[in-house]
């Protein structure tokens, strides 16, 4: 949205991103994806299709897995958002990131951030997800490289590690 | 190799940490100061002449940078094999979505409106959209006869075999276009200044293809063109040739505006305008003896190349060479042809012609089995190529391959015999029909024929002052594990830990031309050169008296520092040299087509739902021989990923064409498999020992694309007892096939009653 094409005014919109409160000055109908990438420079969130099919732009918003390409910014007002940048604690990787590395869950890497957010959502919802539940839980996120097996194995491995931690 | 070997171990992926943390920099993540955004105005018609271009009011045109063919100071073509494809159409249009104008503006959101405000009037010309229309030649849309390229492969005296044949089996098989569907869309950034020339950063496979194309397009010397690969989010062949076009466009805008320009395609533009897998048609006529031996045959292999030559001759060549499958043909005649249509050019996609011709071959094998009265297992076993025999191009099989062993392993792990028997019984009742199918196949690694000799690839390894080593190659990482595997090879050769080796960013300013990252050649061909260059580093230090074996990491570092103190730079280079026993005749299309082949037997188990006509793949077993497996985790990932793409090719992915334009250019209506659609894929490697590539490795990236489609369709036929010879095989095709089969059987029954004989069933 631009000055030249938008008749609406910019607004102040505030939300918590990866635990930090932020206020952005933006158009209410801007895509959350663009605000994350362009204003907040959180480029780990990727665009694959722009129509909610591929899940590359997945983030957690108040604990719900959303496609940030389909979320108008105004809906993020007051929300708590988690992106891929919010998972590792400094140089210590999240168990899902570790498992993706070890199990071959990332090949080209473009779907990986969204896939890891979808996986996090599964782990948040299920204590011990079955392989079937993992496959179902990831089915909104497309990966063209892996054929999914090693991603599914990575999520199962992370769930196992959490259970024994 | 000892137990400390780095090769053969699943070491951590070099760039893995950046990928799982979201830190990797893809081209769209990069921003340059003062950057403009570029977009492409494309043709709305398939063929014709541009009569008039009007810039409608309502857009601040004076703020835009506009580039047309007139702004090109070099040659208006994308230099590759031929020079027929313009970078920007000047007058004649040959396919929908052909680039005509380029626009750039600081505000990317203004671009869609601006594109819509450019109205182009055309004088349309008749166009052709299918192989058959192109062959009819009622319209000549390319050259003198609509034919890009033909090949003829002849072995033995085919014409003499027909009278000796107990069976002559005929079939025609077709495959559709397939979109690569990398999740990262195509994108490029270009910047220009008079002193340094043009630099492009982008999502790409082949930096030196782009380098060559930009030199010609921008009329710049080699040193004034620089191509840098950013992290690339999937490619699969789809970023082999088309990125040269996008780089050209970004470069033209950057030169005219004097500012950096970023062009990022959205999904619709990427799907509609860029390349896809070539649609194909293969006709088989095979002479077979009564004991099921192939005596010889004719294979006509035809592909639709789209509107321009691009890579079609090379795709055609690989398809033709693979058309006979992993079988022994005493005689054969393979006629291959690539024709022109008015669709956007089809291009490279994993497998590169082989998935098309091997689909036909492996369907034909099942058809032969039925006519001869043998099982799909037995017909293959009796015809497998054996060491010492020759392929269709009369290449002697020197590898110690035993396809029977691969077949046995696949039969055993898939529980084939028992399942086949059980399904036959269980398929009598219920609303599901189960089936199991086999495909045996091969895939040649590296460039075809004399290709590697022409490429003459160069690789470098650098010894650094901190005791690390850097691999210098133009070979790119786009998910397959290039950086990891080449580092393993270098570390192994240097006797250093994996962690001390890195691979330089693929930047033409810094890396030599190690050839394109295609054709399953990176581990085998480039890997071998890395091994040799790394050995060169080690030998240099030893022969100059700076190092003695065995050595520690510290001793290696000290030796490097001493060498650098004297010489200033420490790099060793290795250039490809063709083995002396490899012979290839480009004229006759005969000889050693590939230095090595990957071999495989795949078995698919399917269930067809008779209510919805949908097919699910319930089990998939993949047994292959690819030489030494350098990295088991990555290798398994490559195989599973390839099979998943091939399941899409078989059962889901259909490009709907409307006058040469992809009608369903969205992920919403072009359907690729999700995690819920795929079975667990079981992967097995046999290592029979091979001497060709680095530490005995052969190519494996494309192999898994070749076999699944025929295995799956063979399984569907096993389930339904109805022939299906076209892919993609969608539920509606299965419904049509079953209805047609029912009609045919009713007709046969009716005519039998008229003749006063029993139905075929009761007669037996």
Last residue of a domain, one of B273, B308, B332: B273
Interface of A with B in 133-162 (CB under 8 A): 134-136, 138-152
In a domain, B1, yes or no: no
Q: Is B60 on the interface with A (CB under 8 A)?
A: yes
Q: Which residues of B touch A107 (CB under 8 A)?
A: 234, 479-481, 637, 641
Please tell me which residue of chain B has the smallest CA distance to A154: B20
pLDDT band at B690 (very low <50, low <70, confident <90, very high): low
pLDDT band at B2 (very low <50, low <70, confident <90, very high): low
In a domain, B583, yes or no: no
How many angstroms separate the CA atoms of B186 and B115, rounded?
A: 19
B249 shares a domain with B199: yes
Q: Which residues of B touch A46 (CB under 8 A)?
A: 26, 28, 183-184, 233
Average model confidence (pLDDT) across chain A:
95
| pLDDT score of B493 more than 50 | yes
Collapsed DSSP state (helix, strand, coil) of residue A80: strand
Q: Which residues of B touch A56 (CB under 8 A)?
A: 183
Q: What is the pLDDT of residue B24?
A: 98
Interface of A with B in 44-63 (CB under 8 A): 44-51, 53-54, 56
Range of B745's domain? 738-763
Query: How does pLDDT run across A4-25, given as a tens digit for each residue?
Result: 444 468 999 999 999 999 999 9
Q: Mean pLDDT over residues A20-33, rounded?
A: 96
B684 shares a domain with B713: yes
In a domain, B157, yes or no: no
Query: How does pLDDT run across B266-318, given as a tens digit for each residue?
Result: 999 999 999 999 999 999 999 999 999 999 999 999 999 999 999 999 999 99
Q: Mean pLDDT over residues B5-25, rounded?
A: 98
pLDDT band at A115 (very low <50, low <70, confident <90, very high): very high
Q: What percent of chain B has pLDDT over 70?
A: 98
Give the DSSP letter string of B453-475: HHH--EEEEEE-TTS-EEEE-S-
> Based on the number of CB atoms within 10 Å of its own CB, is B579 exposed (0-12), middle (13-18) or buried (19 or more)?
exposed
Q: What is the pLDDT of residue B762?
A: 35
Total domain count for chain B?
Answer: 4
Collapsed DSSP state (helix, strand, coil) of residue B85: coil
B343 shares a domain with B406: yes
Pairing of strands B197-202, B225-229: parallel
Q: Which residues of B touch A93 (CB under 8 A)?
A: 17, 20-21
Q: Which residues of A touch B678 (CB under 8 A)?
A: 147-149
pLDDT band at B3 (very low <50, low <70, confident <90, very high): low
| pLDDT score of B756 more than 80 | no
How many angstroms separate the CA atoms of B199 and B214, rounded?
A: 10
pTM for this prediction: 0.97
Q: Is B233 on the interface with A (CB under 8 A)?
A: yes
Q: What is the pLDDT of residue B583?
A: 86
Q: Is the Cβ pair B478, A43 closer than 8 Å?
A: no
Q: How many helices (H) and strands (E) does chain B have?
A: 20, 28
How many angstroms separate the CA atoms of B280 and B177, rounded?
A: 8
Q: What is the pLDDT of residue B549?
A: 96
Query: How does pLDDT run across B522-531, given as a tens digit for each residue?
Result: 999 999 999 9
| pLDDT score of B622 more than 50 | yes
Q: Is the Cβ pair A109, B24 closer than 8 Å?
A: yes
Of A84, A106, A134, nearest to B16 by CB-CB distance is A106
Q: Which residues of B touch A145 (CB under 8 A)?
A: 234, 479, 637, 641
Interface of B with A in 632-651 (CB under 8 A): 633-634, 636-637, 640-645
Of A2, A103, A139, nearest to B109 by CB-CB distance is A2
How many angstroms separate the CA atoms of B592 and B609, rounded?
A: 46
Q: Mean pLDDT over residues B236-251, rounded?
A: 98
Interface of A with B in 60-89 (CB under 8 A): 83-85, 87-88
Give me the count of residues in chain B. 764
Q: Which two tokens mark B515? A: 């050839």
Cα dihedral across residues B194, B197, B199, B204: positive or negative = positive
Tell me the domains of chain A and their CATH numbers: 11-86 (3.10.20.30), 95-164 (1.10.150.120)
Asked whether the beta carbons of B277 and B178 are under 8 A apart, the reply is yes
How many angstroms separate the CA atoms of B524 and B596, rounded?
A: 9
B292 shares a domain with B268: no
Q: What is the pLDDT of residue A108?
A: 98
Give the DSSP letter string of A4-50: TT--SPPEEEEEEETTEEEEEEE-TTSBHHHIIIIIS--TTS--SSS
Q: Which residues of B touch A106 (CB under 8 A)?
A: 13, 16, 19-20
Q: A72 to chain B nearest CA, in Å?
A: 16
B381 shares a domain with B438: yes
Q: Which two tokens mark A50? A: 């722009």
Q: What is the pLDDT of residue B763?
A: 34
Q: Is the Cβ pair B641, A107 closer than 8 Å?
A: yes
| pLDDT score of B88 more than 60 | yes
Q: Is the Cβ pair B20, A47 closer than 8 Å?
A: no
Of B20, B641, B643, nearest to A101 by CB-CB distance is B20
How many angstroms separate the CA atoms of B39 and B568, rounded?
A: 46
Segments in A15-148 forming alpha helices (H) = 32-34, 95-103, 112-125, 131-137
Q: What percent of chain B has pLDDT over 90?
A: 94
How many angstroms separate the CA atoms of B118 and B97, rounded?
A: 14
Question: CA-based angle B456:B460:B466, to the nearest 5?
Answer: 175
In a domain, B159, yes or no: no
B756 shares a domain with B621: no
Query: How does pLDDT run across B150-196, given as a tens digit for each residue?
Result: 999 999 999 999 999 999 999 999 999 999 999 999 999 999 999 99
Q: Which residues of A touch B181 (CB under 8 A)?
A: 144
Q: What is the pLDDT of residue B119?
A: 98
B464 shares a domain with B384: no
Q: Which two tokens mark B685? A: 């490697």
B437 shares a domain with B455: no
B231 shares a domain with B302: no
Residues with Cβ < 8 Å from B607, sequence gap 6 or more?
B432, B433, B434, B435, B615, B616, B618, B719
Q: Is the Cβ pair B267, A48 closer than 8 Å?
A: yes
Give which of B675, B681, B700 to mutate to test A binding, by max A Cβ within 10 Å: B675
Of B183, B481, B681, nearest to A111 by CB-CB distance is B183
φ/ψ of B532, rounded to 5, equals -70, -40
Q: Is A129 on the interface with B (CB under 8 A)?
A: no
In a domain, B645, yes or no: yes
In a domain, B9, yes or no: no
Asked whether the beta carbons of B602 and B438 are under 8 A apart, the reply is yes
Q: Which residues of B touch A146 (CB under 8 A)?
A: 637, 640-641, 644
| B44, B360, B369 from B171: Cα distances, Å | 38, 8, 13
Interface of B with A in 180-199 (CB under 8 A): 180-185
Give me the count of residues in chain A. 165
Q: What is the pLDDT of residue B52?
A: 97
Collapsed DSSP state (helix, strand, coil) of residue B273: helix
Closest listed residue to residue B454, CA positions, set B394, B520, B516: B516
Interface of B with A in 506-565 (CB under 8 A): none
Please tell me which residue of chain B has the smallest CA distance to A47: B184
Beta strands in B377-464 (DSSP E): 432-445, 458-463
In a domain, B228, yes or no: yes
B209 shares a domain with B328: no
Collapsed DSSP state (helix, strand, coil) of residue A62: coil
Last residue of a domain, one of B249, B273, B297: B273
Interface of B with A in 679-698 (CB under 8 A): 680-681
Of B109, B233, B637, nearest to A104 by CB-CB distance is B637
How many angstroms separate the CA atoms of A147 and B639, rounded?
A: 9
Please tell me which residue of chain B has the smallest CA distance to A147: B641
CATH code of B92's domain: 3.30.365.10
Q: Is B469 on the interface with A (CB under 8 A)?
A: no
Q: What is the pLDDT of residue A3?
A: 44
Residues with Cβ < 8 Å from B565, sequence gap 6 or more?
none
Of A4, A113, A135, nearest to B22 by CB-CB distance is A113
C-beta atoms surrounding B91 within 10 Å = 11
Q: A83 to chain B nearest CA, in Å?
A: 9
Please tell me which residue of chain A has the smallest CA distance to B184: A48
B75 shares a domain with B222: yes
In a domain, B8, yes or no: no
Average model confidence (pLDDT) across chain B:
96
Q: Which residues of A touch B637 (CB under 8 A)?
A: 104, 107, 145-147, 150
Q: Is the Cβ pair B668, A5 closer than 8 Å?
A: no
Q: What is the pLDDT of residue B633?
A: 98
B718 shares a domain with B615: yes
Asked whether the beta carbons of B698 and B686 are under 8 A apart, the reply is no
pLDDT band at B575 (very low <50, low <70, confident <90, very high): very high
């Amino acid at each position: 949205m631009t000055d030249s094409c938008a008749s609406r005014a910019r607004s102040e919109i505030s939300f918590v991103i990866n635990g930090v409160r932020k206020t952005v000055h933006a158009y209410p109908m801007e895509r959350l994806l663009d605000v994350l990438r362009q204003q907040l420079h959180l480029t780990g969130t990727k665009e694959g299709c722009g129509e909610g099919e591929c899940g590359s732009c997945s983030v957690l918003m108040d604990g719900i897995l959303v496609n940030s390409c389909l979320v108008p910014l105004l809906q993020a007002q007051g929300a708590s958002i988690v992106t891929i940048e919010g998972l590792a604690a400094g140089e210590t990787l999240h168990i899902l990131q570790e498992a993706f590395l070890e199990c071959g869950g990332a090949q080209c890497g473009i779907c990986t951030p969204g896939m890891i957010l979808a996986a996090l959502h599964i782990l948040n919802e299920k204590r011990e997800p079955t392989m079937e539940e993992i496959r179902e839980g990831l089915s909104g996120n497309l990966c063209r490289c892996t054929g999914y097996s090693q991603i599914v194995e990575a999520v199962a491995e992370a769930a196992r590690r959490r259970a024994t931690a | 190799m000892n137990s400390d070997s780095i090769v053969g171990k699943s070491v951590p992926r070099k760039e893995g940490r950046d990928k799982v943390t979201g830190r990797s920099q893809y081209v769209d993540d990069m921003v340059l100061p003062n950057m403009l955004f570029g977009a492409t105005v494309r043709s709305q018609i398939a063929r014709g002449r541009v009569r008039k271009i009007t810039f409608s009011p309502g857009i601040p045109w004076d703020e835009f940078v506009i580039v047309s063919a007139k702004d090109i100071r070099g040659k208006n073509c994308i230099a590759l094999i031929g020079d027929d494809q313009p970078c920007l159409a000047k007058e004649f249009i040959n396919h929908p979505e052909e680039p005509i104008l380029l626009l750039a503006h600081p505000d990317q959101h203004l671009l869609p409106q601006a594109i819509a405000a450019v109205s182009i009037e055309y004088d349309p010309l008749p166009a052709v959209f299918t192989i058959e229309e192109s062959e009819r030649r009622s319209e000549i849309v390319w050259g003198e006869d609509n034919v890009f390229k033909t090949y003829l492969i002849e072995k033995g005296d085919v014409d003499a075999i027909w009278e000796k044949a107990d069976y002559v089996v005929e079939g025609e098989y077709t495959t559709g276009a397939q979109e690569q569907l990398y999740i990262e869309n195509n994108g490029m950034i270009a910047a220009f200044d008079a002193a340094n020339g043009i630099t492009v950063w982008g999502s790409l496979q082949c930096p030196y293809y782009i380098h060559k194309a930009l030199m010609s397009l921008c009329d710049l010397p080699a040193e004034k063109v620089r191509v840098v690969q950013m992290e690339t989010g999937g490619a699969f062949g789809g970023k082999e040739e088309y990125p040269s076009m996008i780089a050209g466009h970004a470069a033209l805008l950057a030169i005219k505006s004097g500012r950096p320009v970023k062009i990022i395609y959205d999904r619709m533009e990427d799907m509609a305008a860029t390349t896809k897998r070539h649609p194909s048609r293969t006709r088989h006529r095979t002479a077979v003896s009564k004991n099921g031996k192939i005596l010889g045959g004719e294979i006509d292999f035809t592909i639709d190349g789209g509107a321009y030559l691009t890579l079609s001759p090379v795709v055609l060549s690989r398809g033709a060479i693979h058309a006979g499958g992993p079988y022994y043909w005493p005689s054969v005649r393979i006629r291959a042809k690539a024709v022109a249509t008015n669709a956007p050019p089809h291009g490279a996609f994993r497998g590169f012609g082989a998935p098309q011709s091997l689909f036909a071959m492996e369907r034909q094998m099942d058809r032969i089995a039925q006519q001869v009265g043998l099982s799909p297992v037995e017909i293959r076993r009796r015809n497998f190529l054996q060491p010492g025999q020759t392929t269709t191009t009369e290449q002697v099989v020197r590898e110690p391959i035993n396809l029977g062993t691969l077949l046995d392993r696949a039969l055993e792990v898939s529980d084939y015999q028992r399942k086949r028997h059980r399904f036959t019984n269980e398929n009598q009742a219920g609303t599901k029909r189960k089936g199991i199918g086999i495909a045996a196949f091969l895939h040649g690694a590296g460039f075809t024929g004399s290709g590697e000799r022409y490429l003459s690839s160069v690789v470098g390894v650098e010894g650094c002052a901190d005791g690390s080593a850097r691999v210098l190659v133009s070979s790119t990482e786009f998910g397959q594990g290039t950086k990891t595997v080449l580092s393993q090879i270098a570390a192994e050769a240097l006797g250093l830990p994996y962690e001390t080796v890195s691979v330089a960013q693929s930047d033409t300013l810094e890396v030599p031309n190690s050839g394109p990252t295609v054709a399953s050649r990176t581990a085998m061909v480039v890997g071998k050169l890395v091994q040799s260059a790394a050995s060169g580093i080690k030998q240099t230090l030893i022969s100059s008296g700076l190092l003695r074996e065995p050595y520690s990491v510290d001793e290696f570092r000290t030796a490097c520092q001493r060498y650098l103190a004297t010489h200033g730079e420490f790099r060793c280079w290795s250039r490809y040299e063709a083995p002396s026993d490899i012979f290839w005749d480009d004229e006759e299309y005969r000889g050693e087509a590939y230095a090595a082949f990957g071999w495989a037997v795949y078995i698919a188990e399917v269930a067809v739902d008779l209510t919805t006509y949908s097919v699910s793949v319930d089990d998939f077993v993949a047994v292959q021989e690819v030489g030494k497996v350098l990295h088991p985790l990555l290798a398994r990932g490559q195989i599973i990923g390839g099979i998943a793409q091939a399941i899409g090719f078989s059962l889901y992915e259909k490009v709907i064409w409307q006058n040469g334009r992809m009608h369903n250019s969205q992920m919403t209506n072009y359907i690729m498999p999700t995690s819920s659609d795929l079975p667990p894929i079981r992967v097995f490697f046999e290592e029979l020992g091979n001497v060709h590539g680095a530490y005995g490795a052969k190519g494996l990236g494309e192999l898994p694309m070749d076999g699944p489609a025929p295995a799956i369709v063979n399984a569907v036929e096993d389930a339904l007892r109805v022939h299906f010879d076209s892919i993609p095989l969608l539920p509606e095709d299965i419904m049509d096939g079953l209805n047609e089969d029912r009609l045919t059987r009713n007709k046969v029954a009716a005519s039998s009653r008229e003749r006063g004989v029993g139905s075929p069933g009761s007669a037996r």
